[in-house]
Structure 1
Amino acid sequence: MARMLRSCLQSLLKLVNSVIGLTGMGMILYALWMLRAWFKQIGGGGGFDSSPPWFIYTFLGLGVFLCLLTCSGHIAAETANGHCLSCYMAFVFLLVLLEAAITADIFLNRNWEEDFPEDPSGKFDEFKNFVRLNFEMCKWIGLSVVAAQALSMFLAMVLRALGPDHESYYDSDDDNEPARLPLLRSQSLRAPSPIESNLPLNNDWSVRIHDRVSK
């Protein structure tokens, strides 16, 4: 029963963790599209002024971080190791704190745009306008991602409490145990001693001496 419950939790953690991975891949694709549009806008120049702005770098970095977090989550779910699950929960918790801080700053601070540096490409303004025009869709997407992160933390916590599957380790040890030889061998397989091999010769010699004495 415990093994079945652990297997279900591992599968659920992988499934929920995949939502975070899909979000990261989407952010990477969007960042690459913005990067391509930025280089196309500046005419493909390679100078200092043609370097990508902070918004594209941030989006790309967050996407890569989410993909790496997804890989670590799959490894932690597969192994059910306590240290891996603890590290995974810590990184997810820090990510949730960062998202909560940014969300609180946006909703509580009217001049929140001044907290961010100026974006020379204008992609940050385009992203803000897109979110404002599609606020309902973006809200549900954001809530889904946050719910997936919170659920992954909860599943990792429960899986860490259950611990790894020790029974499978014991079964594998029993399967790999070498065959043991018997300590006592059968008497029929025991090699004859030199004394036993010389017994017939000694009997013949005593018979010959007895015949000579009788003569």
Structure 2
Amino acid sequence: MACRGFFECLLKLLNFVLTVAGLAMVGYGIYLLVEWMRISGGGGGAPPSPAPPAELLMFGRPMLTAVALGDGGSFFDKLPKAWFIYLFIGVGAIIFVISLFGCIGAATRNTCCLCCYAFLVILLILVEAGAAAFIFFDESWKDVIPVDKTENFDVMYDFLKENWEIARWVALGSVIFEDYTSILRVSRIHKHMHI
């Protein structure tokens, strides 16, 4: 029984941390969007002066907000200029909503909330696995990333290349941890349904 209480507290703590992280992502994304609007001249379109294709608009954290202003024909060139900021806010909102279901479900022991939470976590894991498979098998993602004048991306990419074995084990460990907690959640839901 003590183990059950421990895992319940661990689930509540993990969901609280994820809720705060989701809110922080949304807040920081809104800050970045406001800064981008201020720098680009207000509207959601291009900056007031035409920029050469190789030039970048940089603000906030360089790795998160380097936006290529060049003209091109790819899908990513047709997206709004602040597409990464919108994606960042969206991911933060999704994490917030999922972890909120987990917090409410764990605190009230509501079976409906816990079932919805388990479904959303499994869906999130599948999306993460799909994104990881896309990045791993499709090498064209390197061409889509905007040029980083600070070269922080190159430093990070070289570091990961040198320490690829460690990065793989860390990624495997996090996936196993997510799967294990998902199984615990589902088993907890199953126990509550039969009580």
- State the TM-score bracket (shorter-chain normalisation): 0.5 to 0.7
Residue equivalent to 2:12:
14
**Structure 2-normalised TM-score?**
0.61
5+ long unaligned stretches in structure 2: 48-79
What's the CA shift for 1:82?
Answer: 2.3
Whether 1:45 and 2:70 are equivalent positions in the alignment is: no
State whether residues 81 and 164 of structure 1, in contact with CA within 8 Å, keep that contact through their aligned partners in structure 2: no
Residue equivalent to 2:33:
35
Whether 1:154 and 2:154 are equivalent positions in the alignment is: no
Higher helix share: 1
Which of 108, 124, 133 is matched with 1:79 structurally? 108
2: CA distance, partners of 1:32 / 1:143:
32
Q: What per-residue deviation string (whole Å, max 9, x for no partner) do you get for residues 115-156 of structure 1?
A: x6x86xx68x988547426646xx588667645543431221
1: CA distance, partners of 2:155 / 2:109:
41
**CA-atom RMSD, angstroms?**
3.8
**Structure 1-normalised TM-score?**
0.56
Q: Aligned AA for 1:45?
A: G
Q: Aligned AA for 1:132?
A: Y
* 3-state SS in 1 of match to 2:46: helix
In structure 2, relative to structure 1, the CA distance for the partners of 1:63 and 1:165 (3 Å cut) is: same
State whether residues 121 and 182 of structure 2, in contact with CA within 8 Å, keep that contact through their aligned partners in structure 1: yes
Which of 92, 112, 131 is matched with 1:63 structurally? 92
Whether 1:24 and 2:22 are equivalent positions in the alignment is: yes
Q: Aligned AA for 1:150?
A: D
State whether residues 19 and 145 of structure 1, in contact with CA within 8 Å, keep that contact through their aligned partners in structure 2: no
State whether residues 20 and 149 of structure 1, in contact with CA within 8 Å, keep that contact through their aligned partners in structure 2: no
Which fold has the larger relative contact order, with Cα–Cα distance below 8 Å and residues 6 or more apart in sequence? 1
State whether residues 20 and 148 of structure 1, in contact with CA within 8 Å, keep that contact through their aligned partners in structure 2: no
Q: Aligned AA for 2:30?
A: L
Q: How many residues align?
A: 158
What's the CA shift for 1:162?
Answer: 2.0
2: CA distance, partners of 1:68 / 1:126:
34
Which of 115, 125, 147 is matched with 1:96 structurally? 125
The structure whose Rg is larger is 1
State whether residues 26 and 63 of structure 1, in contact with CA within 8 Å, keep that contact through their aligned partners in structure 2: yes
What's the CA shift for 1:88?
Answer: 0.5
